[in-house]
Structure 1
């Protein structure tokens, strides 16, 4: 088993770069932290390059670590693990994972969540996790949306990216594909043409577009939808958080088909 005890180690310096999107895409690798996420990745058959653990990780997850291939395991010092971690209190385990091929074929069946320029990592991760919980077929991230391989998005997803397809594609062509397949596409906007989501009785197949936290769904995409919908607000709040709104709409559409 390999050991790394110094933060000046060349491999440690290279792994730190994975906190930047540019380097992740260049190396086709990303970093996950904590036992739960790493276990989810292993269960899903994700290609693991290395599993780094310190004394805490060894103590708490000895049995699990012993089941992993020895060539993947690297024992690191507390200082090394802290230098790589983005958590306030590191859990003692970090894995380096190969990025999957993003060229997945999209089946225009079931429920799909489309994200247009949703920039907050917590919102993106939460919506993907909710889509997983609600039983959607997949999530498509349009241009401008937060990178799912950032540490914050990965933590918010809690492993849901291993349970359903999460694909990055320009939305214009995707929306056109749903419409060609006779699948209704719903945008989210408050205007005269929009209707309350409660009036929508959906088929088992649909696409739901959620937009940027401040600007909403782009007008070009709203013009392509079959119907734009909104959530009535009864109190004094001006609007709902986009992840909360997405959860309400996804569960409604899934339970009314």
Structure 2
């Protein structure tokens, strides 16, 4: 394997660029950091395009599988690539998957309406994975799912469910065409207690922006809008926490 010892190496420069949305879209690829995410990708059958490893990972089974596309990097290069202070010496470039809805919708789907915080988006995707959802639809204004902060928060869940990017109004229309209910989360006089909703096989659940909530225009198109009663004194729940409560109720 070739040894890379300079951060000015073109492959290293390209790897750094793949931590930005503009370059990710151009190359249709994104950056993975750490053995856990890389092993999750391999287990899911994702064809990694490149591995960058420090010497202590040369005998790793993943490296043996991708030997022809692996490069050994110096410790200073690994430090340069890492988003965390204590890097684990293993990095990869993975393809961005197809981000469209399947022709036949089935299972539970989480729809994110302008959820801006990368940590929240990653946590919600990970929770949807844990709850057995089929996919997550990234609406307009929602954090890009391959932002490094989102990728860290997802912890590999992007390999277990389908990520879709599209306007939520179009997504809701497709659910309606499939006669599948879509539940919103806008608190108004018509909102119903989430505990009264009975799970169905195929459905959508919309979570709105952290500060402004769900777009009222989208709420007009939903089957029902849900509310979580708060018996305590807190005014509201964190968006990711609320999403988790609702997601597990629905399955």
Taking structure 1 as the reference length, what is the TM-score of the superposition?
0.94
Q: Distance in 1 between matches of 2:2 and 2:43?
A: 24
Aligned to 2:3: 3
3-state SS, counterpart of residue 48 of structure 1: coil
Q: Is 2:39–2:62's contact at 8 Å kept on the other side of the alignment?
A: no
For the pair 1:99 / 2:109, whether they are aligned, the reply is: no
Aligned to 2:53: 53
3-state SS, counterpart of residue 127 of structure 1: helix
Q: Distance in 1 between matches of 2:95 and 2:62?
A: 19
Distance 1:106 1:34, change over 3 A: farther
Q: Distance in 2 between matches of 1:202 and 1:44?
A: 28
Q: Deviations over 1:169-204 (max 9, x none)?
A: 111111011112211111002211101101112322
Q: Distance in 1 between matches of 2:199 and 2:12?
A: 51
Q: Deviations over 1:203-233 (max 9, x none)?
A: 2221100011111111110010110011011
Q: How does 1:214-233 map to 2 (within 5 A)?
A: 214-233=211-230
Q: Is 2:51–2:63's contact at 8 Å kept on the other side of the alignment?
A: no
1:178 to 150, 175, 178: 175
Q: Deviations over 1:137-195 (max 9, x none)?
A: 11111111111111111111111111111111111111011112211111002211101
Unaligned runs of 5+ in 2: none
Distance 1:142 1:106, change over 3 A: farther
For the pair 1:73 / 2:70, whether they are aligned, the reply is: yes
Q: Deviations over 1:1-20 (max 9, x none)?
A: 12111112122122211121
3-state SS, counterpart of residue 52 of structure 1: strand
Q: Distance in 2 between matches of 1:111 and 1:205?
A: 5
Aligned to 2:239: 242
Distance 1:230 1:137, change over 3 A: same
Q: What is the RMSD of the two structures over their aligned residues, measured on CA atoms?
A: 1.3
Taking structure 2 as the reference length, what is the TM-score of the superposition?
0.96
Q: Distance in 2 between matches of 1:185 and 1:103?
A: 18
For the pair 1:124 / 2:99, whether they are aligned, the reply is: no
Distance 1:14 1:214, change over 3 A: same
Q: Is 1:121–1:152's contact at 8 Å kept on the other side of the alignment?
A: yes
For the pair 1:15 / 2:15, whether they are aligned, the reply is: yes
3-state SS, counterpart of residue 67 of structure 1: helix
Distance 1:16 1:63, change over 3 A: closer
Unaligned runs of 5+ in 1: none
Q: How does 1:121-200 map to 2 (within 5 A)?
A: 121-200=118-197
1:201 to 186, 194, 198: 198
